[in-house]
Structure 1
Amino acid sequence: MTSQNPHPRPLTDAPFLVGDRVRGTTYVPPDPHRREHPEPFEGVVVQVGSGYAGVDAEKTFLWVRLADHTERQALLCDTELLP
Structure 2
Amino acid sequence: MAKPTSPPAPGAPFKIGDHVRSMTYVPPEQLRQQQPELFEGDVVQIGSGYAGIDADRAFVWVRAADGTERKALISDTELWAPTEAGSAR
Which category describes the TM-score, using the shorter chain as reference length? Answer: 0.7 to 0.9
Map 1:67-78; keep pairs closer than 5 Å: 67-78=65-76
Q: Which has the higher strand share?
A: 1
Map 1:4-83; keep pairs closer than 5 Å: 14-32=12-30, 35-83=33-81
Q: Normalising by structure 2, what TM-score?
A: 0.71
Aligned length: 77
Structure 1 residues not aligned, in runs of 5+ = 1-5
Structure 2 residues not aligned, in runs of 5+ = 82-89
Q: Which has the higher helix share?
A: 2
SS state at 2:34 partner: coil
CA root-mean-square deviation: 2.5
Partner Cα separation in structure 2 for residue 79 and residue 33 of structure 1: 19
Distance 1:28 1:50, change over 3 A: same
Distance 1:70 1:17, change over 3 A: same
Moved runs in structure 1, 4+ residues, more than 6 A? Answer: none
SS state at 2:54 partner: helix
SS state at 1:19 partner: coil
Give 1:51 deviation, angstroms: 2.6
SS state at 1:23 partner: strand
Q: Percent identity?
A: 57
